[in-house]
Amino acid sequence: MCLLFIFILSTLEICQSLAPRNVYTNHWAVRIAGGQEEANKLAAKYGYDNYGQIGSLEDHYHFHHSRVVRRAAFSTRGAHSFIHMDPKVDWVQQQLVKPRIKRYIKSYTRSPDSNFVHFNDPKWSNMWYIHCTDKNNRCRSEMNILAAWQRGYTGKNVVVTILDDGIERNHPDLAQNYDQLASYDVNGNDHDPTPRYDSSNENKHGTRCAGEVAAVANNSHCIVGIAYNARIGGIRMLDGDVTDVVEAKSLGIRPDYIDIYSASWGPDDDGKTVDGPGPLAKQAFEMGIKKGRKGLGSIFVWASGNGGRQGDHCSCDGYTNSIYTISISSTTENGNKPWYLEVCSSTLATTYSSGEFYDRKIVTTDLRQRCTDGHTGTSVSAPMVAGVIALALEANPLIGWRDVQHLLVKTSRPVHLKANDWKTNAAGHRVSHLYGFGLVDADGMVVEAKKWRNVPAQHTCSRMSERRTRYIRPDQTLNSTISSTGCAERTDQHVGYLEHVVVRVLIAHPRRGDLEVNLISPSGTRSQLLAKRLLDNSNEGFRNWEFMSVHCWGEKAVGQWTLELIDSPSSLRNPEVLGKLKEWTLVLYGTSEHPYQTQGTQHSRSRMLEIPSPSLEAPRPECGDQGCDGPDADHCLNCIHYSLGNLKTGRTCVSHCPLGFYDDTGARRCRRCHKGCEKCVGRTPTQCRSCRRGLYFNPLNATCSETCPAGYFTDDSKLGGLEFVQIYISGFIPFQKKSKKEGFEKGTEGLNLRDPCKLNASMGWYTVHYRPCSPHSKHSSYGYDHKALFWSRHSKLQCARICESCQEVVGHIVNRLFCVIGAVKASFWQLNHAAKFCSCIVVLCSFEQPHHIFPDQHVFLLRLPVGFSLYPEQFFLLFLVYLTLAWFQEIPKCSTS
């Protein structure tokens, strides 16, 4: 009995060590020169059907043979096999089934109790990873998606497609943004990506991922997508046999139309598989980054994997391990490592996702036009980042595939993510094997993307080790070194500053799971390329397998690189059989010059981290203890006093908060006042201390309003003297004739306004008299009924328009004209002072509300006689003259702000 038990255990061990059986399909990939017609002839000659070109791969065709067994354990022979010997066929490969696993977790769900709603979508209050609503728990929103939305970025004109088991294109939360041109059914060979329905709803995965990216906002259904105005498509390719042809086709669907491909699947996360893209899929990746998006490069986002419980390592996944993909990890709402998370050095960034049973999960769209609050795993994270990248592409459509990776490296932050291996590399980047460069920051992405300059061309420098076998002895460390100059001797290959580092190894080993592989850069940064995998009993070793690390990003390439191999034998193998390192190759990817500072030019205003060098300037006075990464105030990594958020240039360190902001001492941030306040002590409308131009300050409740409230009149004493505004409008203004009752009429000499808003076209001037608010007096009916038309330079605006009839007239004229050129001459009479003049021009064109003059714009005077007109070229020339004089301080500048 004991011998029988030992025999059974031995048999199981042998079975586990055997490679999984190949499954051959009745599909072939064939390379034929001569075009589609030649391919059709050869297909018919040998009994195949030609399914067309494989994605975007030229001269590669998908052949199918209906008389060959659909799935077989061996390759069948017959008349069709003679295609291998045809001289017109360059290459042919029968397709094998490639197991691919969707990276989500089946688990229980719970919904937080929250009534905080900004959108009318019913699940909005449950989207904890976008906004904070739960006052009972510590709430975090460091992904800053709301802030990106507030800047106006919602993914408009960006196309994202989900590579998965299909998407429910008629789902109420997806239908409005669904894009047929970004969709295809590779499994069914048609244009409808609708998933196959069954009782278990097995094919729900793609629909869930699609909702994260582009679910429609404010449609009273389900959720709000991160890029809720983006176009969303789906490639149905996981609901059937996945082969190299299927993957290559899917990766190559309309690369000039689709911007972002999101994939939340990969090889089996069982802790023992080493697998990646086949030769066709590799070509599809390369074709995408070279020719996709009209040469800017397709963007491929990949989930890092869910094999944490099986001790898997995502460096054994050739998709997340590729330099062409953006590998995304996950963290729980509290910044803990999820139980399913895999670690590896190729991970670029992280988003929130699910964790333990008590941690909240992700809400999204679900199959059969429903919603779910149970989306889980790293499947969540890839589409989240795809949505964030869509926001960045809206901010700057010209950024390339490598620019996107640079932006993620630069803007992602460690924040509260818990890991024992956080380190700072020699370029100053904080990085971890669990989380890459940290939690994505959507607001940081769009701010940096808006002002981004494309990085220099990618260079590749490759160096091979000596070709001699070195033994990997048990419980010992084998070090092998390569000394690199960064290919400085070859200008077309020179890598001065690193991006990706790839190590290609040829290793023979009796038990692959006992190996640990590390890479140490010349600057001392250690990347764990492979950790031990307890379930990996394979004796195949690594045959030209490529490991990839981003942990040296921004470092210099020159120096000695060390590959470190550690063999820790398990009890399941014979320790007398040694592993062998036969050869390894170091491949460095990067740029010859600094990616953020072109030689011979001024420093970029991007806040990218610089390579430390003795020539760096001292930190700015406003920078905190973390220093800076450039010479300007917006290059500080943290601030001594306050951080000021600016819509155009990002955050800047300041010693005090400017007008329109108040200081939040606890957070060291300048917070924006309510929209009417110039000075304030808080965000609410009742915390004003003074008002912006154009508004009255009401001392009774500390608010700002457009008119004086009942019981108040305009107070001259607050103004320091009377103020008059004179308005001039050029003649020959076309408009529709209206009745006198509507406030104006057409005259032969120009425009005449009826009382009480007269404007004599022959004179061209109208005088407005207005006062600030004061408590009620016998003149109150005169004071608080008035609204002024323009604002002046030397005092705050006290009114908005002179009277309702003027408002109707001016609004009608401006809204009807293609372009109105007017002018303002403001004269200021102050007690005991001579008259002072500030002349300004106002140009109003067909804006949405064209009669508004926007603050913070400098304007100047162009006085025109009545009936005189200018061509646009003449006006532009005068404007340039004005700017030139203003630059040299020759004429006074007049601002509307």
Domain(s) labelled CATH 3.30.70.850 in the chain stretch across 23-96
Q: What is the 3-state secondary structure (H, E, C) of 428-457?
A: CCEEECCCECCECCHHHHHHHHHCCCCCCC
Cα 216 to Cα 205: distance, rounded to the nearest angstrom: 18
Amino acid code (one letter) for 611: I
Distances (CA, A) of 226 to 19, 148, 201, 211, 450: 42, 10, 25, 9, 18
Rounded to an integer, what distance in angstroms lies between the CA atom of residue 382 and that of residue 377?
Answer: 10
Q: Where are the beta strands (DSSP E) in 622-672?
A: 642-646, 650-654, 661-664, 669-672
10: helix, strand or coil: helix
Based on the residue annotation, tell me whether 379 is a catalytic residue of this protein: yes
DSSP string, 558-613: -EEEEEEEEE---TTS-TTSPEEEEEEEEEEEEESS-TTS-TTSPPPSS-PPPPP-
**Can you tell me the mean pLDDT for 774-797?**
30
> Two tokens at 608?
């990218």
What are the residues facing 697 on neighbouring strands?
Answer: 704
Is there a contact between 857 and 879 (Cβ–Cβ < 8 Å)? Answer: no
Superfamily of domain 23-96: Peptidase S8, pro-domain (3.30.70.850)
* C-alpha to C-alpha distances, 32 to 59, 246, 408, nearest whole angstrom: 5, 18, 40
pLDDT (0 to 100) of residue 621: 58
* 817 vs 432, residue with greater confidence: 432
> Which member of 121, 131, 164, 643 is catalytic?
164
Q: What is the pLDDT of residues 424-478, one digit of tens each?
A: 999 999 999 999 999 999 999 999 999 999 999 999 999 999 888 999 999 899 9
Indicate the pLDDT class of residue 688, thresholds 50, 70 and 90.
confident
Q: Are 795 and 719 in contact (CB under 8 A)?
A: yes
Q: What integer pLDDT is reported at residue 76 of this predicted model?
A: 73
* Predicted pLDDT at 70: 72
- Residue of 92 and 750 predicted with greater confidence: 92
Question: Per-residue pLDDT tens for 161-213?
Answer: 999 999 999 999 999 999 999 999 999 999 999 999 988 888 999 999 999 99
Helix (H) or strand (E) holding 246: helix 244-251
What is the topology classification, in CATH, of domain 117-450?
Answer: Rossmann fold (3.40.50)
3-state class (DSSP) for residue 387:
helix
Phi and psi at residue 304, to the nearest 5°: -75, -25
Query: What is the tens place of the pLDDT at every residue in 706-762?
Result: 777 776 665 544 433 222 223 333 322 233 333 333 333 333 333 333 333 333 222
Told to judge if 346 belongs to the known catalytic residues of this protein, a careful annotator would answer no
Structural element, H or E, at residue 287? helix 279-291
Measure the CA dihedral 546/548/554/559, to 10°. -50
What does the pLDDT average to over 551-564?
A: 96
Strand partners, 57: none
Mean pLDDT of 102-118: 43
In sequence order, the β-bridge partners of residue 361 are none
H or E element that contains 516: strand 515-520
Tell me how far CA of residue 169 lies from CA of 174, 388, 847, in angstroms: 6, 22, 36
Host H or E run for residue 382 = helix 378-395
- In the chain, CATH 3.40.50.200 covers 117-450
Count other C-beta atoms under 10 Å from residue 832's C-beta. 5
Determine the 3-state secondary structure of 477 from DSSP.
Answer: strand
The average confidence (pLDDT) of the chain is 75
Domain 459-591 sits in which CATH superfamily? Galactose-binding domain-like (2.60.120.260)
User: In terms of pLDDT, which residue wins out, 786 or 668?
Assistant: 668
- The better pLDDT of the pair 758, 561 is held by 561
d(CA 608, CA 595): 9
Look at residue 276 and tell me whether its pLDDT is greater than 70. Answer: yes
Which entry of 250, 329, 379, 774 is annotated as an active-site residue? 379
Q: Is 656 exposed, middle or buried (0-12, 13-18, 19+ CB in 10 A)?
A: exposed
Cis before 756 (ω within 30): yes
CB 263 within 8 Å of CB 300:
yes
Confidence band for 102, pLDDT divided at 50, 70 and 90: low
> Which of these is catalytic: 80, 205, 429, 494?
205
Lookup: tokens for 243: 């082969």
Give CA–CA dist 835/605, Å, rounded: 43
Q: Tell me which residue of 708, 662, 696 sits closest to 682, measured CA to CA.
A: 662
Q: Determine the straight-line distance between the first and last CA of the chain, rounded to whole angstroms.
A: 94
Domain with CATH 2.60.120.260 in the chain: 459-591
Q: Is the pLDDT of residue 848 over 70?
A: no
Name the residue with higher pLDDT: 786 or 568.
568
Tell me the two tokens of residue 300: 């491929």
* Higher per-residue pLDDT: 612 or 632: 632
Backbone torsions φ then ψ of 531, nearest 5 degrees: -105, 165
**How far apart, in whole angstroms, are the C-alpha atoms of residue 598 and residue 601?**
6
* Residue 391 CB partners (closer than 8 Å, separation 6+): 148, 153, 154, 155, 226, 227, 442, 445, 446
Q: 769 an active-site residue?
A: no
Describe the crossing of helices 401-411 and 442-450 by its angle, rounded to 10 degrees.
Answer: 130
The pLDDT of residue 734:
31
What's the rounded Cα separation, in Å, for the pair 347 and 302? 10
Give backbone dihedrals phi and psi of 793, rounded to 5 degrees, phi first: -85, -35
Q: What is the residue whose two structure tokens read 């011998």?
A: 3
